[in-house]
Amino acid sequence: MRGREDEWTGLMRSAMAGDDAAYHRLLKAIAPVLRAAARRGLSRAGQPPDQAEDIVQEILLAVHLKRHTWDSEAPFAPWLFAIARNKLIDALRRRGRRVFVNIDDFAETLPGEAPQETASANEVTAQLNTLPQRQRDVLQSIAVDSASIRDTAAKFSMSEGAVRVALHRGLAALTAKLRDH
């Protein structure tokens, strides 16, 4: 346990110093831990565990967008678990409320909405479709087609700087939509 958490702290320090590969490894390493926690939280709340992945993705987005609040002198794990707990509680609360207003929700939003199973299986994908075209293109290119920033810039004849801006704005907008929807 200790060793694993020290490793995370080391990876996060490297990531903050600009090591993208270390950041990628860190996120890969924490995802299964977050997944297990999300499943446990859902089952304790009497919710189906198949929504755990949505919660994991929300936690990862929050970790990413709030990583400047991590103090590089402090251990990484308590910071991570505080965010995870916060997002899990939020998600459970939201799901509780949604069950309650379920029927109205569907009556109002069904026409023209993305197929329902996509939305419930992956909220990030559903919200992705509501982003401005440019941000969606860039996110899809990097996420789904695993293109680099440079390749994405060439594909859409944008500058690399513009791709970076669209990427970051897209992720921030996605997080805000997930939080407020």
Partner 1 sequence: MDTDQLIRTLAADNAHRAPRVGAMLTMALLVAAPLSILIFATFLGVRADVMSAMRNPFFDMKFAVTLSLAIPAIIVSLHLSRPEALMRGWGWLLLLPVGLLAVAIGSEAMMAPAMPATMRLMGKNSRACLMAIPAMSLPLLAGAIFGLRHGAPARPALAGALAGLLSAGLAATLYATHCTDDSPLFVATWYTIATVVVTGIGAAVGARVLRY
Question: CB-wise, 48 or 161, nearer to partner 1?
Answer: 161
Tokens found for residue 57 = 């993705």
Question: CB-wise, 22 or 45, nearer to partner 1?
Answer: 22
Question: CB-wise, 48 or 78, nearer to partner 1?
Answer: 78
Beta carbon of residue 24, minimum distance to partner 1 (angstroms, whole number)? 4
Question: CB-wise, 14 or 47, nearer to partner 1?
Answer: 14
**Cα–Cα distance between 108 and 90 in angstroms, integer?**
23
Q: Which residues bind partner 1 (CB under 8 A)?
A: 15, 18, 20-21, 23-24, 27-28, 31, 53, 56-57, 60-62, 64-71, 74, 78-79, 81-83, 86, 90, 122, 124-125, 128, 139, 142-144, 146, 148-149, 164, 167-168, 171, 179
Q: Spell out the long-range contacts of 40-48 with Cβ–Cβ below 8 A and sequence spacing 24 or more.
A: 41/88, 41/92, 42/92, 45/92, 45/95, 45/96, 47/92, 47/95
**Cα–Cα distance between 127 and 133 in angstroms, integer?**
12
Question: CB-wise, 37 or 61, nearer to partner 1?
Answer: 61
Calculate Rg over the CA atoms of the chain.
Answer: 18
Beta carbon of residue 107, minimum distance to partner 1 (angstroms, whole number)? 26
Give the DSSP per-residue string, 24-43. Answer: HHHHHHHHHHHHHHHHHHHH
Beta carbon of residue 8, minimum distance to partner 1 (angstroms, whole number)? 14
Beta carbon of residue 116, minimum distance to partner 1 (angstroms, whole number)? 17
CA neighbor of 138 nearest in space, from 163, 121, 120: 163
Beta carbon of residue 85, minimum distance to partner 1 (angstroms, whole number)? 8
